[in-house]
Amino acid sequence: MQCIVNRRAQFSASHRYWLPELSEVENFEKFGACAKFPGHGHNYVLFVSLLGELDEYGMVLNLSDVKHVIKREVTGQLDYSFLNDVWSEFQETLPTTENIARVIWDKLTPHLPVVRIQLFEHPELWADYMGNAMEGYLTVSTHFSAAHRLAHPSLSDEKNFEIYGKCARPNGHGHNYHLEVTVKGDIDKRTGMLVDLGALQKVIDDYVVEPFDHTFLNKDIAYFSEVVPTAENIALYISNVLRAPIQNIGASLHKIKLIESPNNSCEIYCNNSQQNIPSTTQSQPLLAQV
């Protein structure tokens, strides 16, 4: 039987986004504060996913051996380093989060059966790389606070309480929603970026956070006057709203994850060939297709 195991590691390092072929003005226009001398640092958290068959001892791999390989090939070299100088690969392509993940993959795959590298620059920004040439994934995490009421306008209060329970109470209730937006794209061979991070954050803020934050969704977002604002429907709406703006900045929307509470979350995986739009006449919550 095959199984995927995950090993966590960490390292602290600094980097700078700076291309010598560009002027100082051009570098700051392109990279903003990340171009400042002498760079800035992060406490990186690394997850290495490994695939293999269970052996007679109930293990895919001896994790002590895995730990030593990761330290020898990656963290022992990167910890307390200036990333731009530590590996030759970062002379050719800047050490962005997504590119660091890609290069770590290249360092580990000769020694371990790696199927995914996930690298957190901080808790609200991380990259995934699965070995597909220059293709990578970048996730931005953000949040908004909003109220909603789960009640379909065409149903009686009695029927709504039967379907939605306490969530159908007339005056609604609120959540601190956490939103994860994952985009997919090719890592640029010079800048190391699959998307302009500032542009991506602006799209998310302009199209989701600002319109949604401190609202009563049923009343303040016209779409939810007819569609029940379950977590599933909110995530689906966000995926449709973000799809085109993210394409316009050179990436594609891969996944929306909406965390309504520590106990409830949903995920929408996006098919960029079409939009999935729920019917406005439904009487049941739309379930996310994952």
Q: Give me the active site residues, please.
A: 167, 214, 260
Within a 13 Å sphere around the CA of 290, how many CA atoms are in the beta-carbon half?
14
Using CA atoms, how far apart are residues 61 and 163, in angstroms rounded to an integer?
47
Beta carbons within 8 Å of 152's beta carbon, 6+ residues apart? 160, 163, 228, 282, 283
Q: Which amino acid is located at 252 in the chain?
A: S
Q: Which residues, other chains included, contact 224 with Cβ-Cβ below 8 Å and sequence gap of 6+?
A: 148, 217, 218, 233, 234, 237
Length of the chain: 290
Alpha carbons 189 and 187: distance in angstroms, whole number: 6
Integer Cα distance of 184 and 63 in angstroms = 30
d(CA 278, CA 79): 48
Asked if 10 and 44 count as a contact pair (C-beta separation under 8 A), the reply is: yes
CA distance 270 to 245: 14
Number of Cβ atoms within 10 Å of the Cβ of 265: 16
What is d(CA 94, CA 19) in angstroms, rounded to the nearest whole number? 8
